[in-house]
Amino acid sequence: MSVRRSIVRGVGGYLPARVMTNQEIASRLDTSDEWIVQRTGIHERRIAAEGETTSDLGLAAARAALADAGMGSDAVDLIVLATSTPDQTFPASAVTIQAELGITRGAAFDLQAVCSGFVFALATADRFLNSGEFRCALVIGAETFSRILDWNDRSTCVLFGDGAGALVLEAGEQPGERTDRGVLTTHLRSDGRYRSKLYVDGGPSTTGTVGQLRMEGREVFRHAVGMITDVVEDAFKATGYGAKDIDWFVPHQANKRIIDGSAHKLGIAPEKIVSTVDRHGNTSAASIPLALADARVDRRIKPGHLVLLEAMGGGFTWASALVRW
Ligand code: UT7
């Protein structure tokens, strides 16, 4: 019996031109390249230029994804943008991208689940495509975290960077077999008891300011691997797949130690990990689609490959998805 699935047609990424190295940060703060590399695996990150907005980044990634799909923007009837750093409090930055792409039909909205945002957005778009309400979605993760960092706080400012990535998803019939292409399963979790472990100390209804990122890094780290492996096990249970079936593991890129620890606990071989944290730092909701774009550019991910996505971040939120390319 055939089933309707959300099939990946294209992927694209965009990084601002400006590279900020660890050495540059160490020249003005009490930190070192050695500490940052040892504790996080990060060597450098990108920083958006003055006036370069989250929607600019997201638009460039969306255009790259549409070009990769060989599709025009007229095919798109849904845009879900995962971001915690929108251009403005409202309207959604997704509508700016929609307007720049010349799309006047369908719907565009932002979704906020911090570093898990891209997987939440993928799950949301997948449901709309499966229900038949929309046919072709741009799922975008775009962030300018450099704008909400406290550049005097060495425990957070060394970790994050700016960037954007996007997927084009199109609804299509598949045979309903193990070889089906598309989004096979998604699993979303949140637990607001942990909301003060990683947050921004401002907002429209509290301070009336944008605020800056605050994090108890050690506490986030302590929970990360357990939450990630739990939600990946949920994806395995739902599909009958296991670690040995995975072709590529594309995790949220927060810290190399968290990525390697999660892969090890799940029994996923190191050579299956797609990692960009060394060059991008943590780009929050943009990190997974940026890593996917990286693996697309060098043609590591091929049609038919089974790709495991996972993320964990502020809220706490955590999520997984299994996608057959
Ligand atoms: O996207 C999801 C959200 N974020 C994360 O997943 C991040 C999760 N957390 C982490 O990745 C790690 O906890 C960090 C990389 C943030 C920190 O690594 P850690 O091994 O947990 O270090 P720590 O926080 O336990 O700090 C160890 C020491 C401290 O000094 P004392 O108290 O031992 O004297 C810190 O003050 O390192 C110090 N420290 C630094 N030293 C040099 C903290 N930041 C820095 C720094 N440079 N940038």
pTM over the 0.95 mark: yes
Exactly one of 115, 136, 187, 280 is catalytic; which is it?
115
6 pLDDT band, cuts 50/70/90, is very high
Query: Which one of 22, 136, 255, 282 is the catalytic residue?
Result: 282
For the beta carbon of residue 131, count every other beta carbon within 10 angstroms.
10
* Tokens linked to 187: 């699993």
4 lines ligand 1 (CB under 6 A): no
Tell me if residue 215 falls in helix, strand or coil: strand
Average pLDDT over residues 35-44: 98
Section 176-193 average pLDDT = 96
Domains assigned to the chain: 3-174 (3.40.47.10), 182-324 (3.40.47.10)
Residue 224 confidence class, pLDDT cut points 50, 70, 90: very high
Helices (H), the chain: 22-26, 33-40, 54-69, 93-100, 117-131, 154-157, 217-239, 256-266, 277-280, 287-297
Please tell me what DSSP assigns to residue 31.
-
Look at residue 240 in the predicted model and tell me its pLDDT.
Answer: 97
Decide if pLDDT at 17 tops 90.
Answer: yes
Ligand 1 atom 16 nearest Cα: 217
- Sorting pLDDT into bands at 50, 70 and 90, what band is 15? very high
Distance 106 CA to ligand 1 centre (A): 44
Report d(CA 168, CA 76) in Å as an integer.
8
Per-residue model confidence (pLDDT) at position 135: 98
Q: Which of 310, 286, 250 is nearest to 62 (CA)?
A: 286
Q: Which atom of ligand 1 is nearest to the CA of 158?
A: 48
Query: In the predicted model, what is the mean pLDDT of the chain?
Result: 98
**Identity of residue 238:** A
pLDDT for the residue numbered 1: 84
CA of 187 to the centre of ligand 1 (A): 29
Mean pLDDT value of segment 173-197: 96
The mean pLDDT value for 125-135 works out to 98
Residue 226 predicted with pLDDT over 90: yes
Active-site residue 264, yes or no?
no
Closest-CA residue, ligand 1 atom 30, reads: 155
CA distances, 219 to each of 73, 301, 316 (Å): 42, 34, 11
Residue 104 DSSP code: -
**Contact (Cβ atoms closer than 8 angstroms) between residue 67 and residue 45:** no
Task: Give the Cα separation of 65 and 257 in Å (integer).
Answer: 30
User: Which residue's alpha carbon is at the smallest distance from atom 17 of ligand 1?
Assistant: 217
Token couple for 314: 């502020």
H or E element at residue 144: strand 136-144
Based on the residue annotation, tell me whether 136 is a catalytic residue of this protein: no
Q: Is 252 a catalytic residue?
A: yes
Residue 173 phi, psi dihedral angles, 5° rounding: -80, 135
Instruction: Give me 279's structure tokens.
Output: 């060059």
Q: What is the pLDDT of residues 75-122, one digit of tens each?
A: 999 999 999 999 999 999 999 999 999 999 999 999 999 999 999 999
| Predicted confidence (pLDDT) at residue 244 exceeds the cutoff of 90 | yes
Cis preceding linkage at 91, omega within 30:
yes
Report which ligand 1 atom has the smallest distance to the Cα of 31.
Answer: 47
Closest CA to 85 of 281, 314, 285, 291: 285
Pick the atom of ligand 1 nearest to 220's CA.
8
CA distances from 275 to 136, 230, 289 (A): 28, 21, 12
Catalytic residue of the set 157, 187, 252, 255: 252
